[in-house]
Amino acid sequence: MDITGRLIKILPEMRGESQRGPWVRGGFVIETEDTYPRQVAFTLFGEDRLAMVNALVMNAPVVVTFSPESREFNERWYTDLRCIRVVPFNGAAAPAAAPAAQQAAAPAAQPAAPAAQPSFASQPADSDDDLPF
């Protein structure tokens, strides 16, 4: 899934050690630019993904690719939006621009022939119903 918004905060990193080795977790918050703006927090794991966020400019528009994940603990559900990729927003490469480009590249369709109009001359002249249908 993708979402576009403005980067408003980078959350602090958390580091730890597990049986598999050291790990690092971070996060960031964006604000959508819809009619009713929403703030959305994302989490990410690994040095490489943290480097993606640290390279971004604060208050810059970004496109975030993420995966929603939920888990249950003590009969309560918790949801994470795990960031897969975050890149600066480039207006020229907007997903909405692709269909318009495809329509422009498609050959012009031939106009359809007008539908045959029904003939109402077959009604008797003395009919008191003067409606054509």
Question: Domain tally for the chain?
Answer: 1
**What DSSP element (H or E) covers 73?**
strand 61-73
- What tens digit of pLDDT does each residue of 11-39 get? 999 999 989 999 999 999 999 998 999 99
Count other C-beta atoms under 10 Å from residue 107's C-beta.
Answer: 5
Higher pLDDT, 105 or 49: 49
Cα–Cα distance measured from residue 81 to residue 59, given in angstroms and rounded to the nearest whole number: 20
What is the CATH classification number for the domain harbouring 21? Answer: 2.40.50.140
Is residue 97, in this structure, part of any structural domain at all?
Answer: no
Question: In degrees to the nearest 10, what's the CA dihedral of 70, 59, 90, 32?
Answer: 40
Is residue 14, in this structure, part of any structural domain at all?
Answer: yes
Is residue 50, in this structure, part of any structural domain at all?
Answer: yes
What pLDDT sits at residue 81? 93
- What is the DSSP pairing of strand 2-18 with strand 39-45? unpaired
Is residue 125, in this structure, part of any structural domain at all?
Answer: no
What pLDDT sits at residue 70? 94
- What tens digit of pLDDT does each residue of 86-120 get? 989 886 544 443 444 344 444 445 555 555 555 55
Domain that holds residue 10: 2-91
Is residue 68, in this structure, part of any structural domain at all?
Answer: yes
Is residue 71, in this structure, part of any structural domain at all?
Answer: yes
Is residue 101, in this structure, part of any structural domain at all?
Answer: no
